[in-house]
Chain A
């Protein structure tokens, strides 16, 4: 509860403060009025909202920095509170010193993570969906996630949710209309409203629920997993893709004990590239743990690549053949006996072929082109139908889906309306979690704005 109403002024650095930069932006939010800060600024004229002022920041006659300040007066601000935005010089030490200055002057405390936005939620400047959209927007790893974040924040998805909500209210109103106002409208009209409004809601919802694809792959932070038996060349490929010597490459099997991960950008999408521990029946305890994690990683991954060295025919191939990979490559093409060994493996495990054989030393660039285009194709295919990314939304939409099925099976106009309305209330609670609340007043409002009622 303390967090809920601890509404004293807060301060934080809104830009990244991990490296020196030309500028840093500090925000102070939730103060009563500007006067308490006036002594810190050399600018002595009036400070009007939404205007930028160039001024010196002063601590007891000592100039701390040359800054630009902008005042956003609540409630017309990002989170509804009074906000002061300071553009300061972006040396990390300078930023730390100024933050410390404001806190020690007793004017504010350091904000908790997300607190500015939390206050926007509290002051109803943003809905929960919008907050989630903002989070997605700020932390997106791909153009698609970026788009969906923005779409939740202010665009189509938010609009779609609102439309869905309105259609729900219309149907709920139609049901209430048939109870409280039947004398005014008559049974025939009420039944008409009831049927049409249910159909409209269902159609709109179906178009939304089609966008919930049961995807094991996390599209918000997509991962590419490189898997294979020890010494199959995973780390070499990993390093090549990163053009870096991050993984320890050696010819002793089992060198990559756990897994390594790095970011790689393909066609504007940021992936996490993961080099796993080699899959084999390990005797080493640490390695055994690494292998367990590898299998788990693989199942959760967006794209999985298996590398096979056909020259080391192993019993683990049978295990691997049980798993599903997006791409399989045969390595060590440069070694003698590769062709026969390759054929032999394919014969025994047709699941692995036919796939390209690669010489890791000579044709890595070709492999890269091939692999990246496959990854990109999978990403475009999966995002083509605009899937919903956020787990909470996906979960709620499928809950609504199943409750709607229960309701639709029950919902003929002749059913006991009180029971119908009971089922509809359960639907409402899922819906309101997705987009806001359905209160009796809102339903009555909807009745009055859409229907003609009278004594």
Chain B
């Protein structure tokens, strides 16, 4: 019988992150994945990153994850979103070649000797003495820890028009339901739904009628050890199409044929990721919606039309696609469908993503009710590291929500039962000015160091931090006299934009009209120094936002002080004065502090703050 330290069920984005980081600790790791699906496959949109998500990919990269490496290698179009809106909300996004991404993932995992990839379907998982027994279609395995990264496969059901088939995604069979896999789990799973658009034949689109979006050569790669602007693959463009009144009319006329609106689908979909049916029925006044036509790969002959996911019958999909300018002759290669699947109640998970009721069992990714490859990968990394750290008797890895989007996500997931798929937005963070792409190393370095893995990544980060401190010092201590010719360069046109006194570099960087990054480059160059461009960027932007961050921090400190107040959850739980549902949540989550209590959904923070302030 095969025996492993850690077994990961599912070879998607969460699964490979979990396996890779766990293997770094020298443990014996296995991935059990459905036969016929490549590792790290991208069944929905062909892109990695995006607003909020780009930050997650860079956080993962700094922690030692693989998503950034794979995305760079498979990247065929790079863009920075929110380029004109200030540094804090800028995020990178890369279109990936799906096939290439999966090939690179297979290559990366197969090069790690202590990971075994098993391509069999899991039938049942039973706890045995000190371990689990995993029964597949072929044989059984023993493992000390299990990480479930099963995506949309639990009890998966696919819908296109009236046709319903069981499956985890198109062309793949589903896995058994959670309660069949684990008879010990008593909590009823929730049912979520997600959808994907029809894929169009690359050669049937009239690109001359669409707006082209070329790849931006100035976007930095995700992985810090890659040359920042090197491209591993040929770069291609995306295109922008638009729906029109006719498109929406076709969809509205077929409302009764949509499984989502005729009651056939029971699962809850995300409001931020609506199907084209949602858009048509919910916003009857709006007829023009953006549809981004994205290449799925260099060799693949399909394009992904982002924005028109649908579970309408095939002939209706064909009609509405062809109603759009530039898509008049478009051929559909794969029809859009909706998938319904089981998700677990994530309030049953600890911050390490270990199940509260079943020790040594972890959950990560879409099975936790999140959407998006990046969210999945972030959780996979946290589950994988913690499974390993726990086996080695080391402290768990828990990222603060104040320092990372991964921390925001995991805290949100474990403190609340979600009623729709969870996606990261920058709006979910209270500390957006600090959680940026440019300062990822600064934010993640202490967490990476905690893992005690001494790799080239660690030496890169140590060097980076040292130079960072030096450069900060340079900014604070270097004074530029008002007579310096440099000062003239930095002045703006406005009356209040004159620099008439001696200033430190830091002060100059904070002038509202200046781009701090190019200003610092100039200042450093003027002093005959040369620095890495990513380091200069981090320092310049940090200096710019510092005063704002300090102000937020003082507010945060106030809150934190309050949040640290200990409360007696048992008395709340026993109270007759609190609603039944609320007490159940309190009883399950067992908040020990005011801060934790506050995070429980349904309890208004302001009311609590007022109440607490009065009680103090």
Contacts and interface: CB of A to CB of B under 8 A. Distances in A.
B2 interface: no
Given A422-B548, A454-B273, A81 B425 contact: no
Contacts of A122: 577, 607, 611
Contacts of B604: 124, 436-437, 439
Interface stretch (A52-60, A329-337, A413-421): A413-421
Nearest to A452: B283
B419 to A, nearest CB: 11
B433 A183 contact: no
B86 A437 contact: no
B247 to A, nearest CB: 13
B612 A4 contact: yes
B85 A179 contact: yes
B488 interface: no
Nearest to B607: A124
Contacts of B307: 184, 454-455
Contacts of B87: 416, 418
A443 B427 contact: yes
A182 B282 CA distance: 20
Given A1-B565, A186-B290, A429-B555, A436 B607 contact: yes
Contacts of B526: none
Contacts of A439: 604-605
Given A7-B571, A417-B89, A419-B548, A452 B606 contact: no
A436 B606 contact: yes
Interface in B156-175: none
B45 interface: yes
Contact of A178 (B85, B429, B430, B575): B85
A222 B410 CA distance: 55
B80 to A, nearest CB: 12
Given A179-B89, A180-B425, A421 B432 contact: yes
A453 B290 contact: no
A74 interface: yes
Contact of B577 (A74, A415, A448): A74
Contacts of B289: 184, 452, 454
A416 B86 contact: yes
Given A7-B577, A454-B307, A128 B610 contact: yes
Contacts of B309: 455
A127 B607 contact: yes
Contacts of B286: 452
Instruction: Categorize the interface residue count of chain B.
Output: 35 or more
B543 interface: no
B375 interface: no
A119 interface: yes
A121 interface: yes
Interface in A65-96: 74-75, 80-82
B345 to A, nearest CB: 18
Nearest to A185: B290
B606 A119 contact: no
B427 to A, nearest CB: 4
A74, A81, A183: residue with the most chain B Cβ atoms closer than 10 Å: A183
B577 A453 contact: no
Interface in B574-616: 575-579, 601, 604-607, 609-612, 615
B582 to A, nearest CB: 10
Contact of B51 (A121, A179, A186): A179
A4 B430 CA distance: 27
Nearest to B566: A1
B88 A4 contact: no
A374 to B, nearest CB: 41
Nearest to A454: B274
B311 to A, nearest CB: 14
B425 A418 contact: no
A78 B186 CA distance: 37
A7 B615 CA distance: 13
B584 to A, nearest CB: 15
Contacts of B88: 416-419
Contacts of B430: 440
Interface string A438-455: 011101100010001111
Given A127-B607, A182-B82, A417-B86, A1 B577 contact: no
Contact of A448 (B271, B279, B428, B610): B271
Contacts of A179: 51, 82, 85, 89, 426-427
Nearest to A4: B615
Contact of A453 (B85, B274, B565): B274
Interface in B269-285: 271-276, 278-279, 282-283
Nearest to A1: B615
B81 A183 contact: yes
A339 interface: no
B433 A422 contact: yes
A449 B307 CA distance: 18
Nearest to B278: A454
Interface string A114-128: 000001011110011
B552 interface: yes
Interface string A18-55: 00000000000011100000000000000000000000
Contact of A5 (B292, B548, B568, B606): B568
Given A418-B88, A455-B306, A182 B81 contact: yes
A370 interface: no
A433 interface: yes
A448 B421 CA distance: 14
Contact of A183 (B290, B428, B548): B290
Given A1-B567, A454-B278, A180 B52 contact: yes
Interface in B453-491: none
A436 B610 CA distance: 10
B572 interface: yes
Contact of A416 (B85, B428, B609, B610): B85
B238 to A, nearest CB: 11
Given A80-B577, A82-B576, A419-B548, A128 B89 contact: no
B607 A121 contact: yes
Contacts of B279: 452, 454
Interface of A: 1, 3-5, 7, 30-32, 74-75, 80-82, 119, 121-124, 127-128, 176, 178-184, 186, 414-419, 421-422, 425, 429, 432-433, 436-437, 439-441, 443-444, 448, 452-455
14 contacts: A31-B576, A121-B607, A123-B578, A127-B607, A178-B85, A417-B86, A419-B545, A419-B548, A440-B427, A444-B425, A448-B271, A448-B272, A452-B289, A455-B272
Interface of B: 45, 51-52, 81-82, 84-89, 271-276, 278-279, 282-283, 286, 289-290, 292, 306-307, 309, 425-430, 432-433, 545, 548, 551-552, 555, 565, 567-568, 571-572, 575-579, 601, 604-607, 609-612, 615
Q: Which 3 A-B pairs have the closest CB atoms?
A: A416-B86, A437-B606, A418-B88
Given A4-B612, A32-B576, A80-B577, 9 more contacts: A1-B567, A7-B577, A124-B604, A418-B86, A432-B606, A440-B428, A444-B272, A454-B273, A455-B306
